[in-house]
Amino acid sequence: MKVFKVFSLLLLMAVLLPQGAEARRKQEKEQDDRTYWCNLLYKIVSPILSNMSEGKLQQNMLVELSPTWDGRDRRVTYMEAFGRTMAGLAPWLSLPDDDTPEGAQRKQLREWALKSYAHAVDPNSPDYLLWRKEGQPLVDAAYVAESFIRAYDALWVPLDTLTKQRYIQEFQQLRRVDPPYTNWLLFSSTIECFLRKAGAQWDAYRVTSALRKIEEWYVGDGWYSDGPGFAFDYYNSYVIQPMNLECLEIMTDGGKRNVWNMEKDGYPRALQRMQKYAIILERFISPEGAYPVFGRSIPYRMAVFQPLAMLAWREELPEELSGGQVRAALTAVMKRMFEGEQNFNEKGFLTLGFNGSQPGTSDWYTNNGSLYMTTLVFLPLGLPADHPFWTDPAEDWTQKKAWGGQEFPKDHAIK
């Protein structure tokens, strides 16, 4: 009789208290997409900002380096983690405070971020970043500058005068780095564009020469080459398309004027190319929420979709893509990749790999600070919760329509 009662109790618990992955799936289904995005982004970035806001990131971060690490100063890890985090987080933090659970998350992250910005450039802080050694800081200073460009009023304006002066000095001294003849030209350009926006001394040649070179490297149908030779990878997503468009926007006041010594109509042309590239990215997402894994830097995970996310945030999606289908597609990928704990190490930081701990997928320059590039997919959180991107019904994305026997738009090249 006692055995029967115990069996009955266990059976009842199994029915009432679903375990593990099943429970998570049930909980996620009950959340709206925006809540899911907010909770996931908070989970990813809070170990970085909560520690750095107290000057303890370098003390507490569990660092992972590529098995083929090239021997550079491992402290580049912290600058990569912070800069890339802020570039993806900035639009969300630009929204005003409110009394919602999301508002509480956002307010906390903004408070941590502003304190972290100060530690990053304070030579007396344990979390003073590696600004003045190696060439790598040029890359991640550009992502810090990009965060200020993306949320100027929310993240740059509130900083105290001394912190602003320190940033300007650190950005300007990075002219010591001679960028390789690749997407790195845009890192110099982005920093100089921010200095221009902030009213500081800036170097016009570092901007216009980079933008002219990117124009020369256009290979057609929405794709740029990363340097003189074309490589089939996602660097159009990670760097080229977004930073090229943002620099052109600053230099042309959003397309209202042309830049001296550059071709006319550069900004609208770059926007059209990014829209075409975004169409391609959306078509890469399978009905199951997977996407092709190819090229270098693949552990950057969902940074692959930065141009698609950026256009959604800027309300510039091409007419072929609705907000409802883009949101549904990106949510499907997020859940496919982050439904378990496999992408976090024991201290809660991102772990080397594409989907799980896969150190062999990393390149000689990759550390787990590099992986915070994945935050760049969350740019649409900069749209308020009542925006149609969030409130429109979810729609099937292109591959789901195609493989499900539904009508879907044909693809075509752009001129």
Residue 241, domain member (yes or no): yes
| Bridge partners of residue 367, in order along the sequence | 65
Residue 256, pLDDT score: 78
| Bridge partners of residue 65, in order along the sequence | 367
pLDDT tens-digit series, residues 11-27: 444 444 445 555 555 45
Query: Which tokens in the block code for residue 294?
Result: 């190819």
Residue 226, domain member (yes or no): yes
Query: Cα 393–102–84 angle (5° rounding)?
Result: 95
- The sign one gets for the Cα dihedral 5, 7, 8, 12 is positive
pLDDT tens-digit series, residues 70-126: 999 999 999 999 999 999 999 999 999 999 999 999 999 999 999 999 999 999 999
Domain region containing 215: 20-403
Segment 311-327 mean pLDDT: 98
Residue type, 180: P
Residue 393, pLDDT score: 97
pLDDT tens-digit series, residues 151-167: 999 999 999 999 999 99
Segment 216-240 mean pLDDT: 97
Residue 11, domain member (yes or no): no
Give the residue, 294 or 265, on which the prediction is more confident: 294
Residue 5, domain member (yes or no): no
The answer to whether 93 and 113 are in contact (CB under 8 A) is yes
Segment 273-289 mean pLDDT: 98
Q: Exposed (0-12), middle (13-18) or buried (19+): which is 73, by Cβ within 10 Å?
A: exposed
Percent of the chain scoring above 70 in pLDDT: 92
Q: Which of 154, 122, 106, 133 is nearest to 52 (CA)?
A: 122
Its pTM surpasses 0.85: yes
The number of distinct structural domains making up the chain is 1
Nearest 5°: phi and psi at 65?
-115, 150
Q: Which residue, chain included where needed, has tokens 């009508």?
A: 407
Residue 203, domain member (yes or no): yes
Residue 415, domain member (yes or no): no
Residue 14, domain member (yes or no): no
> 327 — alpha (psi -120 to 50), left (phi > 0) or beta?
alpha
Segment 256-280 mean pLDDT: 88
pLDDT tens-digit series, residues 394-406: 999 999 999 999 9
Contacts of 327 (CB under 8 A, 6+ apart): 33, 312, 380, 389, 390, 392, 394
Percent of the chain scoring above 90 in pLDDT: 89
Domain holding 323: CATH number?
1.50.10
